[in-house]
Amino acid sequence: QDVTLRMHQFLPDQANVPKLVLYPWADRIEAASNGRIKIERYGSMQLGGSPPELMDQAIDGVADIVWTVVGYTPGRYPTTEVLELPFMMTDARAMSSAYWQMFEKYMKDGEFKDVKILGTWVHGPGMLHSKDPVTKPGDMEGLKIRGGSRLVNELLKELGATPVGLPVPGIPEALSKGVIDGTTIPWEVTGSLKVPELVKNHTEFEGAALYTLGFVLAMNKDRYDSLDPELQKIIDDNSGLEFSILAGGTQADSDGPSRQAAVDAGNNIITVSGDDVQAWKDASQPIYDGWIADMETKGIDGQALIDEARALMDAYGQ
Amino acid sequence: MHRLIRMLARATALIGGAVLLALITMTTLSIIGRSINKFFHADFFDAQLTGLSQFVLGLGVGEINGNYELLEAGVAFAIFAFLPICQFYGAHASVDVFTAAFPKRLNNWIIAFWEVVLAAVILLVIWRLYGGLERYLRNGETTLFLQFPVWWAYAASFSAGVIACIVAVYCAGARIVEAARGVVILPSEHGEH
Amino acid sequence: MSNLELGFWSFPVLLVMIFLRAPIGLAMLLCGFGGWYLAMGGNPTPLLAKLKSETYTTFSSYSLTIIPLFLLMGQFATLSGMSQALFRAAESFLGHRRGGVAMAAVGACAGFGAICGSSLATAATMSKVALPELKRYGYSGGFSTATLAAGGTLGILIPPSVILVIYAILTEQNIAKLFLAAFIPGILAALGYVLTISIYVRLYPDAAGTRAPVPMAERFAALGKTWPVMAIFVLVVGGIYLGWFTPTEAAAIGAAATGLVALVSRSLGWSVLKQSLIGTARTTAMIFFIVLGAGFYNGFLALSGVPQFMADWVVGQGLSPWLVLVIILVFYLIFGCLMDSLSMILLTVPIFFPVISAMDFGMSAEHVAIWFGILVLIVVEVGLITPPVGMNLFIINSMDRDTPMKETYKTVMFFVASDIVRVALLVAFPAITLFLLR
Ligand code: NA
Ligand code: NA
């Protein structure tokens, strides 16, 4: 059995995630199968549709494999939001590991029952890049900030800032034209967006990150089931917990060079630490309360999920 | 029948147009709000006229948040609502140089043929749109900002789509009658852009 | 059949359908459906699933929402008496020269193009105002209609421009930069047409009459009345460039402002409003139906691997990038004789753009993309005035039944020549297009 699988995602081929995570994964599978599996790669939504449709494309078999941001389809995968809560993620590898374990326990036969999930991971610490320095929650008052996720937008509102919805490629223009005063985004993508040239202040947080985003690599279920057992095994061997940790780690590791570029440019890198972090955490408490209440209406014990995610992260690497 | 369909197509287009006008008003107000907000946040007002600027900002003057989501949903509805009138006036773009050499009768049949295919495709598209409506009704997906259920927008577009189906089927029938009897029922106006 | 073969076979099938008078959007949609169906090994499920959301997401795409807004803005502009004011002003400055009324019509078209994103609307609106005047001063029929047909293309060449919006989306380029880059070539187009007119009246002195000059004070009074046009242009195009608002927001503000001017000038009553909404509706639906068809067809083409194959093949030939560019532009000129500009862009840019991107012109990728966009814009717009199928020619001929189509065809070739000279200039000197981006 020789098969060709179509992989569809929204970033251009030369971006970090396709270049460092997805395409090497595809290469590994092609090599392990001695060419019996061929993976065609379609970046930049070449096969049509918009990024929020990717998950449905995998469910319906429009594409065989998709990579997508879970938050693009708000409301459909509520459990995954636990890892996107503000000041939740301390390390991308640890969180990716926790994500996979919780996926297997809670989501595999639940929210994600329509697709075959091959990997679950998060990006490195999401942080703030702004024109004016931001150190304490009060500095956010009145700023227009591009938020990275639904929960980040909630947090921005809570802090008195105005969340602005923008696709990632729109950030440089919005910054240079003053449409926004800053943006949330991990270091990794700041380089290609020229963020360090457009703003001079970057706010990092010691310990847990301001936010992160959850990703999944998903495959059409029927397509997977139709594969020979040996081919299924090749895919399984390259997917799951280890791959998730590797993917999250690779993405987080790409933060370093971009951060160094901002340092070299002489930008002001603010690290919020100690008691100052507590002020931010206190400010984000309403987001936790709201989320737990929201989960309750869906019959999910939010607090238990939070505790479990924290415990799994702590257990990582020990 | 003909007048009824014409009225239906026009009325639907006008409803779509009214939505478009409302969206234009909303966007304009949002930009004005944003500009005023920016103006009163400027250093001068913050420092010198704190009371006034606090008052203006306190009124909630500012950008209408998430207005782009309404714009997207509204424009989608408007376009579905514009389909019937485009159909009715035969305004779809086509190339008629090559068929110009054919006899008139044959040309009429060609037009009728494509009108029937077009009606079938519109029925297919709207039927699948209903599939999308069902899917979002089931999976509870919301928009990112305003967090309204996506199926609301689909339902609005679908209702306009149903009218497009009715008009498309009528036009297909009318074009067949035109070809068979050599009469003129529907206008044929090339669209412009 | 492999997907690649399937992709190549889709071209002749599509062309046969189009030449057999299928609505262009429908033809692309059918090829897209057929292609997806066959490429999925005859399984209809993925295609039917794709249809669940893709129509809605196409119609609700934020960057495309700009199109109905610009169209409505153009509808309001045609009603607001601005075309009248523009022509009066241009005419008072130029009318006494030889061929001056025709030059004035071109100038007014350029002004109108600055607030209207559509060629046909510009041609039709200016014809209403300028045709009677041209006739009055003894301009020959063919000269008058050809001038207005050519002038109409300024509606799209000078920003804002619906075609550039589509190109920007297809190639993921910045709309504001494309608008800015279109500016100098647009002005060159207007100057080129003026030059063409002055050559033409020297060759055919009988084709135009003359009239006495207007006093300076009157000229400036007439110019003063064009302020709403200038204000709206500055607001919309300036606003986009300076980043006061996104292009879509600018289109909304422009539509609101133009509507307001129409309202104040008392030309926007209830029935006129209905008429402009219906006009917007028809054109919007037509455009989006083509966009929908192109989306499905282009998705299938990507799946078949045709664009990648073509790009690799062309690069493998080792041809000079400039030769490839010229071949592509000539292709557009030939096809432009038969097809409308929007369909051509949607159909060909996904195939040609990867080819051009793969070649080295000694410029940054972004500059090549913008430069190529402006060149394509111009060559497809030439198609609007090349016989036999030129939409601008048709629309003006329908407004001037006394002039035989043959007369228009003959004279318009002078303007086509001017367009070709301009394209050659812009190909040879990319800096002209990219100047404002530095
Ligand atoms: Na224009
Ligand atoms: Na032509």
Is there a contact between B193 and C22 if contact means CB atoms under 8 Å apart? no
pLDDT, tens only, C52-111: 999 999 999 888 898 899 989 988 988 888 888 999 999 999 989 999 999 999 999 999
pLDDT, tens only, C210-268: 888 989 999 999 999 999 999 999 998 888 878 778 888 899 999 999 999 999 887 77
Number of H helices, E strands in chain A: 13, 11
Nearest to C330 by CA among C375, C296, C362, C292: C375
- Give ∠ CA C244-C250-C252 in degrees, rounded to 5: 135
- Give ∠ CA C227-C231-C236 in degrees, rounded to 5: 150
Between the CA of C306 and the centroid of ligand 2 the distance, in Å, is 27
- Partners of A164 in beta bridges: A146
| Ion ligand 2 nearby residues (CB, 5 A) | C 336-337, 383, 386, 389-390
What pLDDT is recorded for position C147?
A: 96
Size of interface A-B (CB pairs under 8 A): 36
Between the CA of C117 and the centroid of ligand 1 the distance, in Å, is 4
Is B9's pLDDT higher than 60? yes
Is there a contact between A177 and C46 if contact means CB atoms under 8 Å apart? no
Is B61's pLDDT higher than 70? no
For residue A242, give every residue at least 6 positions away whose Cβ sits within 8 Å of its Cβ, in sequence order, or none.
Answer: none
Is there a contact between A75 and B65 if contact means CB atoms under 8 Å apart? no
pLDDT, tens only, C350-382: 889 989 998 999 999 999 999 999 999 999 989
For residue C42, give every residue at least 6 positions away whose Cβ sits within 8 Å of its Cβ, in sequence order, or none.
Answer: none
Contact of A168 with chain B, judged by CB distance below 8 Å, is answered with no
Q: How many CB atoms lie within 10 A of CB B160?
A: 24
Is B49's pLDDT higher than 80? no
What pLDDT is recorded for position B192?
A: 42
| ipTM for the complex shown | 0.90
Angstrom distance (rounded) from CA C71 to CA C77: 10
Angstrom distance (rounded) from CA B141 to CA A219: 20
CA distance B4 to chain C (A): 17
What's the mean pLDDT in A13-30?
95
Q: How many CB atoms lie within 10 A of CB A236?
A: 14
Angstrom distance (rounded) from CA A293 to CA A305: 13
Region of A50 on the Ramachandran plot (φ > 0 left; ψ -120 to 50 alpha; else beta): beta
What does DSSP say about strands A182-186 and A144-146: parallel, antiparallel, or unpaired?
A: parallel
Is B35's pLDDT higher than 70? yes
Question: Could you tell me the pLDDT band of residue B193, with boundaries at 50, 70 and 90?
Answer: very low
Angstrom distance (rounded) from CA B63 to CA C245: 12
Is B193 a domain residue? no
Nearest to B80 by CA among A219, C139, C68: C68
- Chain C residues with CB under 8 Å of B13 CB are 277-278, 281-282
DSSP string across B134-150:
HHHHHH--B-SSS--BH
Is there a contact between B76 and C60 if contact means CB atoms under 8 Å apart? yes
Region of A136 on the Ramachandran plot (φ > 0 left; ψ -120 to 50 alpha; else beta): beta
- Chain B residues with CB under 8 Å of C51 CB are 124-125, 128-129, 131
Structure tokens belonging to residue C300 = 């299938």
* Crossing angle of the two packed helices C82-94 and C216-224, in degrees rounded to 10: 160
Check residues A104 and C238 and name the one with the higher pLDDT.
Answer: A104
Q: In whole angstroms, how large is the CA radius of gyration of chain A?
A: 20
Angstrom CA distances, C372 to A242, C171, C318, C322, C332, stand at 46, 11, 20, 11, 12
pLDDT, tens only, A301-317: 999 999 999 999 999 98
Nearest to B160 by CA among B90, B76, B70, B71: B76
A2, A6, A62, A115: best to mutate for the C interface, most C CBs within 10 A: A62
Q: Reply yes or no: is the peptide bond before residue A172 cis, omega within 30 of 0.
A: no
For residue A237, give every residue at least 6 positions away whose Cβ sits within 8 Å of its Cβ, in sequence order, or none.
Answer: A32
Is B54 a domain residue? yes
CA distance C53 to chain B (A): 6
For residue C208, give every residue at least 6 positions away whose Cβ sits within 8 Å of its Cβ, in sequence order, or none.
Answer: C98, C99, C101, C102, C137, C138, C139, C140, C143, C201
User: By the 8 A CB rule, do A150 and B144 touch?
Assistant: yes
Angstrom CA distances, B57 to A72, B16, B51, C338, stand at 32, 34, 10, 57
pLDDT, tens only, B122-180: 999 999 999 999 999 999 999 888 889 999 999 999 999 999 999 999 999 999 999 99
Check residues B67 and A41 and name the one with the higher pLDDT.
Answer: A41
User: Which ligand number lies closest to the CA of residue C390?
Assistant: 2
Is B188 a domain residue? no
Is there a contact between A75 and B140 if contact means CB atoms under 8 Å apart? yes
Q: Reply yes or no: is the peptide bond before residue A196 cis, omega within 30 of 0.
A: no
Is B160 a domain residue? yes
Residue A145's H or E segment, with its range, is: strand A144-146
Angstrom distance (rounded) from CA C292 to CA C115: 27
Is B144 a domain residue? yes
Considering only alpha carbons, which residue of chain C is nearest residue A43?
A: C302
User: By the 8 A CB rule, do C338 and C347 touch?
Assistant: no
Residue C81 carries which side chain, given as an amino acid letter?
Answer: G
> Taking all residues of chain A, what is their mean pLDDT, rounded to a whole number?
93
Question: Could you tell me the pLDDT band of residue B33, with boundaries at 50, 70 and 90?
Answer: confident
Nearest to C335 by CA among C323, C318, C351, C359: C351
How is residue A135 annotated by DSSP?
-
Q: Pick from B41-45, B81-85, C234-238, C404-408 the range whose average pLDDT is largest.
A: B81-85
What pLDDT is recorded for position B48?
A: 57
How is residue C117 annotated by DSSP?
-
Angstrom distance (rounded) from CA C207 to CA C205: 5
What pLDDT is recorded for position B52?
A: 58
pLDDT, tens only, C153-174: 999 899 888 889 889 888 888 8
The rounded percent of chain A whose pLDDT value lies above 90 is 80
Residue A5's H or E segment, with its range, is: strand A3-8
Nearest to C369 by CA among C383, C385, C353, C384: C353
pLDDT, tens only, A235-285: 999 999 999 999 999 999 999 999 999 999 999 999 999 889 999 999 999
Q: Which domain holds residue B161?
A: 2-181
Q: How many CB atoms lie within 10 A of CB A222?
A: 13
3-state secondary structure of C243: coil
Is B43's pLDDT higher than 60? no
Angstrom distance (rounded) from CA A100 to CA A111: 14
pLDDT, tens only, A57-68: 999 999 999 999
> Taking all residues of chain C, what is their mean pLDDT, rounded to a whole number?
90
Contact of B69 with chain A, judged by CB distance below 8 Å, is answered with yes
Who among A73, A76, A165 is closest to B145 (CB)? A165
User: Which ligand number lies closest to the CA of residue C333?
Assistant: 2
User: By the 8 A CB rule, do C26 and C285 touch?
Assistant: no
What's the mean pLDDT in A80-84?
95
Is B190 a domain residue? no
Structure tokens belonging to residue A58 = 């995998």
CA distance A182 to chain B (A): 15
The rounded percent of chain C whose pLDDT value lies above 70 is 100
Question: What is the CA A196 to chain-centroid distance, rounded?
Answer: 21
Between the CA of C160 and the centroid of ligand 1 the distance, in Å, is 4
Q: What is the 3-state secondary structure (H, E, C) of B45-79?
A: HHHHCHHHHHHHHHCCCCCCCCHHHHHHHHHHHHH
> Taking all residues of chain B, what is their mean pLDDT, rounded to a whole number?
87
Q: What is the separation, in whole angstroms, between the first and last Cα of chain C? A: 49
What's the mean pLDDT in B22-48?
76
C3, C33, C53: best to mutate for the A interface, most A CBs within 10 A: C53
Who among B20, B121, B135 is closest to C72 (CB)? B20
Angstrom distance (rounded) from CA C413 to CA C368: 29
Is there a contact between C57 and A50 if contact means CB atoms under 8 Å apart? yes
Is B192 a domain residue? no
Angstrom distance (rounded) from CA C222 to CA C95: 13
C93 by Cβ neighbours in 10 Å (0-12 / 13-18 / 19+) ranks as buried
Is B13 a domain residue? yes
Strand order in the sheet with A65-69: A37-42, A3-8, A65-69, A214-220, A115-122
What's the mean pLDDT in C307-323?
90
Region of C36 on the Ramachandran plot (φ > 0 left; ψ -120 to 50 alpha; else beta): alpha
Angstrom distance (rounded) from CA C73 to CA C249: 12
- Partners of A203 in beta bridges: A128, A270
**Count of domains in chain B?**
1
Is C410's pLDDT higher than 60? yes
Who among A76, A162, A165 is closest to B140 (CB)? A76
Neighbours of chain C (3+ CB pairs under 8 A): A, B
C71 by Cβ neighbours in 10 Å (0-12 / 13-18 / 19+) ranks as buried
Check residues A19 and C119 and name the one with the higher pLDDT.
Answer: A19
Reduced to 3 DSSP states, what percent helix, strand and coil does chain C have, rounded to the nearest 5?
80, 0, 20
Size of interface B-C (CB pairs under 8 A): 200
CA distance A160 to chain B (A): 12
